[in-house]
Amino acid sequence: MDEMHRRTGDAARPNTALTRRKILAASAGAAAALGAAGLPVLQTAGPATAKGTWRVDPLIPEQNRGIILYAVRDRISAAPDDSGVPYGFERVLARLAEMGYKEIEFAGYTQNTAILGRQITPAEIRKILDDNGLVANGTHASIRADTFQQQLDIAEELGMKNIGTGSDPTNSAYQSDWDAAADLWNELGRQAKERGMRLYTHNHDAAYNFLLDSGPLDANGKPTRSSGIRKLEYFMAKTDPKYVFFEMDIFWGYVARYKHTKYINSAGRERTDIFDPILTVARRPKRFPLFHAKDGDKNTAVPNGYDMVPLGDGDINFQQFFQTIGEYDFHHANWEQDTAPGGAANPGQSLAFAERSYRHMAELSIYRED
């Protein structure tokens, strides 16, 4: 294993592990955010008191710490090689379990056919999960009416309780298209519930841009201005909370906060509205069973305002985020970093980033009074 750790050497900047001081400072910030929004405030920190003793509990319970395999897609899809770095489902999932991950979100069900001489089957993947004490908590599949039952069959084979997609329900900016998407997703969500699963959609920043739903119409009869409601929040209101759920990608939520700040109202006036990822969840926590715990380093020189980095190395305050939204046992966090693969020059980078990110996820904690 020492040799493996050397081969999957850490290529990122020096470790910036969380400290108890940082955690307590973030806890105070979380309380302030809740209070300002009129939401309940959880007492955050303190030593032993006359009322009792305090304990430190994880913000993300161990059994709810996961990873989406897209972050290590280079090693899932790799052909057998002599790098010493795990490849394919069997070896990569075993390594992720050694790191401490308990849950897996899928981003496809295929690996290099040179490993088995054919493609792996969902039943074989399920056995690998079971052998390593791992649970499939979701997937980024194609959600379409004509193939949905087949996707449910695969999800059921893998033991999933959630089935989802990495795409928005529609790429449109117009209310009528989001209405149609809501109708479809309510029906597919009902079908998923009949099979014991929750249907969810995953966001990028565009989903939290403003809906075009008012003002003068263009030459095609489409609205050109906005009432100020954001597309995905409109979709949340139009879908049945029994059938349709959400996976917030926290990185893209903060990109939306940076990018999508202004709209033109029906009177033609520019208005400013700052998106708040934390309060979007805190007001409806049971609509968000899953999250992508993806970190970003602030960089206003790039269009998104952030560079993706391993969890704990960036500027996104995950302590504040997870403490404020509460419902610790209900929420599941999947680490992701789109840029984790290191290519031929560093084939072990994505797994090294996965290991470091797991450590930082496990360090997120909260004081509670016994």
Report the 3 state secondary structure along the chain: CHHHHHHCCCCCCCCCCCCHHHHHHHHHHHHHHHHHCCCCCCCCCCCCECCECEEEEECCCHHHEEEEHHHHHHHHCCCCCCCCCCCHHHHHHHHHHHHCCCEEEECCCCCCCCCCCCCCCHHHHHHHHHHCCCEEEEEECCCCCCCHHHHHHHHHHHCCCEEEECCCCCCCCEHHHHHHHHHHHHHHHHHHHHCCCEEEEECCHHHHCECECEEEECCCCCEEECCCCEHHHHHHHHCCCCCEEEEEEHHHHHHHHHHCCEEECCCCCEEECCCCHHHHHHCCHHHCCEEEECEEEECCCCCCCEEEECCCCCCCCHHHHHHHHCCCCCCEEEECCCCCCECCCECCHHHHHHHHHHHHHHHCEEEEEC
To the nearest whole percent, how much of the chain has pLDDT over 70? Answer: 86
User: How confident is the model over 248-304, as pLDDT tens digits?
Assistant: 999 999 999 999 999 999 999 999 999 999 999 999 999 999 999 999 999 999 999
- Does this model's pTM top 0.85? My answer is yes
Mean pLDDT for 124-138 is 98
Question: Can you give the pLDDT at residue 11?
Answer: 39
Mean pLDDT of the chain: 90
Looking up residue 38, the CATH number of its domain turns out to be 3.20.20.150
Mean pLDDT for 337-364 is 97
Question: Can you give the pLDDT at residue 83?
Answer: 92
Question: Can you give the pLDDT at residue 21?
Answer: 43
Give the structural domain span for 93: 2-369
Question: Can you give the pLDDT at residue 42?
Answer: 45
User: How confident is the model over 16-44, as pLDDT tens digits?
Assistant: 444 444 444 444 454 555 455 555 444 44
Question: Can you give the pLDDT at residue 56?
Answer: 86
The count of structural domains within the chain is 1
